[in-house]
Amino acid sequence: MADDYQMPKGELMKGKRGVVTGVANHQSIAWGIAAQLAAQGAEMAFLHLPGMERRVEALAQQAGVKLLAPADVTDDASMDAAFAAVEKAFGTIDFFVHAIAFANKDELKGSFVDNTTRDGFLRALNISAFSFVDCARRASALMPNGGSILTLTYMGSERAIPNYNTMGVAKAALEAAVRYAARDLGPKGIRVNALSPGAMRTLSLAGISGGRGMLSKGRSLSAMKQDTAMEGVAGAALWLLSDLGLSTTGEVIHVDAGFHIMGFTEDEGGEA
């Protein structure tokens, strides 16, 4: 996949400043979103997992990023330092993108009941769901004029998808957290939403046993018989992060070529 998406240019994010987390490489969903935000005039900071600097630097440059700082969501000191750096660089922000998830590989295969450990479960929930609550608290403190917070989920929260297991439970918690955060932050003019893309070829997907199957099933079982396009995810993010999304909060928006609406397909017995 190219790292030079031709995202529609414009001024929808002109004058807006914000933070994008979760850029690991050119395949990251966060990168697609950042490329679209940059093409619409946003000023951004990237917060990345410590140790990823060298991978992320070139992309940050490409998007004209003002601040590149490490932030491990499991480490309060690292989060304190990262948000202090954002405040120093920008003062206030208008948007925040949370694109972070992790579960041990061993938990992402086979039987959910047999393979889920206490440590693995808590780690997945900590990094993939609690981190969102923590980020929403920290980001909203920098949004005195309102703003928009966005996270990324997957349909494995709603239905049992092979191998997704613990991550599905974490995503269910994440989606509930979106609704509670939207309720709390709504009166402050801060909107909180999630995008639920179909399977996409990223580092995270590679960590899931049978990730390729998720891609091919995502395509063949979708209404459109297509892969989920980065441009489609980035476009939906632009809608929610810009003023176009003015009255939308607490939502989980599927961007999956219609994967989630399907019952069963013709070749599974749908013909008359």
Active site (catalytic) residues: 154, 164
Q: Residue 271 Cβ, how far from ligand NAD at the closest point, in Å?
A: 30
Q: Determine, following the binding rule CB under 6 A, whether residue 58 of this chain makes contact with ligand NAD.
A: no
35 binds ligand NAD (CB under 6 A): no
Token couple for 179: 């609704």
Amino acid identity, position 186? G
| Distance in Å, CB of 48 to ligand NAD, minimum | 6
Contacts of ligand NAD in 106-135 (CB under 6 A) = 127
Contact 99, 73 (CB under 8 A): no
CB of 125 to ligand NAD, least distance (A): 12
The verdict on 63 binding ligand NAD (CB under 6 A) reads no
Exactly one of 110, 205, 213, 260 binds ligand NAD (CB under 6 A); that residue is 205
Query: How many amino acids of this chain bind ligand NAD (CB under 6 A)?
Result: 27
Binding residues for ligand NAD restricted to 211-270, rule: CB under 6 A: none
Please tell me whether residue 20 binds ligand NAD under the rule CB under 6 A.
no
Task: Show the tokens assigned to 164.
Answer: 């997704």
Which residues are CB-contacts of 89 (< 8 A; sequence separation ≥ 6)? 45, 66, 67
Contact 43, 16 (CB under 8 A): yes
The partner residues of 98 in beta bridges, in order of sequence, read 151
Question: Which residue from 120, 147, 168, 197 is in contact with ligand NAD, where contact means CB under 6 A?
Answer: 197
Buried b (16+ CB within 10 A) or exposed e, 65-99: bebbbbbbbeeeebbeebbebbeeebeebbbbbbb
Is 13 among the residues that bind ligand NAD (CB under 6 A)?
A: no
Radius of gyration of the chain (CA): 18
Taking the complex as a whole, how short is the minimal distance between the CB of residue 213 and ligand NAD, in angstroms? 12
Q: What is 12-44 written as a DSSP string?
A: TTTT-EEEEE---STT-HHHHHHHHHHHTT-EE
* Tokens found for residue 15: 């004058």
Q: Does 84 bind ligand NAD (CB under 6 A)?
A: no
What residue ranges bind ligand NAD (CB under 6 A)? Answer: 22-24, 28-30, 49, 52, 71-74, 99-102, 127, 152-154, 197, 199-200, 202-205
